[in-house]
């Protein structure tokens, strides 16, 4: 079983899905990606999550993020489950749900934790950058639904910090002040960031969001 760490290449795979055969790299293309794993179809918390993911489709699209989910059940089961999700959540799930009956993808992504269950995938999230590296991993317990506002916030941070020499502080939201990278001197930062630099401590400098 593989162990994935931040910065590793996301393992590629080809698998059946609710929308036919999917190759991960081909599906993502030059986009960011977010992959959700689910322990099984027709599970209550996951039903609300996939419905919420569909409701957030426009927000993910604005950020050039493609969604896909995974469950260890088959594609035909996924199609039936989607009908329930669309009805319960009053939405339309139009992203693929990977069928992983042989646990091939689950093993690639270390989604099966024996301490939780030997056969069912845990509820993980992987955010994948356009260069196919893994930028974030979160694993939730079965009893706690995922926070999609937080996932959007993290994507905003990842995309901002990928293109600018900044980091985002605790509870940061898109458009708020950011932290100047420690690798940059205050003198260079004042040249680099035209909106100004506030030095709170020599190692803690803030600047307005360079994209705002």
Answer yes or no: pTM beyond 0.95. no
Q: For residue range 70-80, list pLDDT tens digits in order.
A: 998 999 999 99
Per-residue pLDDT averaged across 147-158, rounded?
97
pLDDT at position 128 is: 98
Where are any strands of DSSP class E within 63-159?
Answer: 65-71, 97-99, 123-128, 134-140
Band of residue 212 on the pLDDT scale cut at 50, 70, 90: confident
Distance CA 68, CA 165 (A): 30
Of the residues 22, 24, 46, 54, which is catalytic? 46
Binning the chain into helix, strand and coil, the percentages to the nearest 5 are 30, 25, 45
Q: Answer whether 193's CB lies under 8 Å from 160's CB.
A: no
* 105 tagged catalytic: no
Burial classification of residue 170, based on how many CB atoms lie within 10 Å of its CB (0-12 exposed, 13-18 middle, 19 or more buried): exposed
In terms of DSSP bridges, do strands 97-99 and 65-71 run parallel, antiparallel, or are they unpaired?
parallel
Contact of 78 with 71, CB cutoff 8 Å: yes
Q: What is the mean pLDDT of the chain?
A: 93
Domain annotation for the chain: domains and CATH numbers? 14-145 (3.40.30.10), 164-207 (3.30.1020.10)
Q: Tell me: the pLDDT tens digits for 78-116? A: 999 999 999 999 999 999 999 999 989 988 998 876 555
């Amino acid at each position: 079983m593989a162990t994935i760490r931040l910065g590793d290449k996301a393992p590629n795979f080809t698998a059946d899905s609710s929308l036919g055969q999917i190759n991960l790299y081909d599906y993502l293309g030059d986009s960011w990606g977010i992959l959700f794993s689910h322990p099984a179809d027709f599970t209550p918390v996951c039903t609300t999550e996939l419905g919420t993911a569909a409701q957030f489709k426009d927000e993910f699209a604005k950020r050039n993020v493609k969604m896909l989910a995974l469950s260890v059940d088959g594609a035909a089961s996924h199609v039936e489950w989607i009908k329930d999700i669309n009805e319960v959540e009053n939405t339309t799930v139009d992203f693929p749900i990977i069928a992983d009956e042989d646990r091939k993808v689950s093993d690639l992504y270390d989604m099966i934790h024996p301490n939780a269950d030997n056969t069912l995938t845990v509820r993980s999230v992987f955010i994948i950058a356009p260069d196919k590296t893994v930028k974030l991993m979160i694993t939730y317990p079965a009893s706690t639904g995922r926070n999609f506002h937080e996932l959007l916030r993290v994507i905003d941070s990842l995309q901002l910090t990928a293109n600018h020499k900044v980091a985002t502080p605790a509870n940061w939201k898109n458009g708020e002040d950011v932290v100047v990278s420690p690798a940059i001197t205050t003198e260079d930062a004042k040249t680099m960031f035209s909106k100004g630099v506030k030095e709170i401590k020599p190692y803690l400098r803030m600047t307005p969001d360079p994209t705002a």
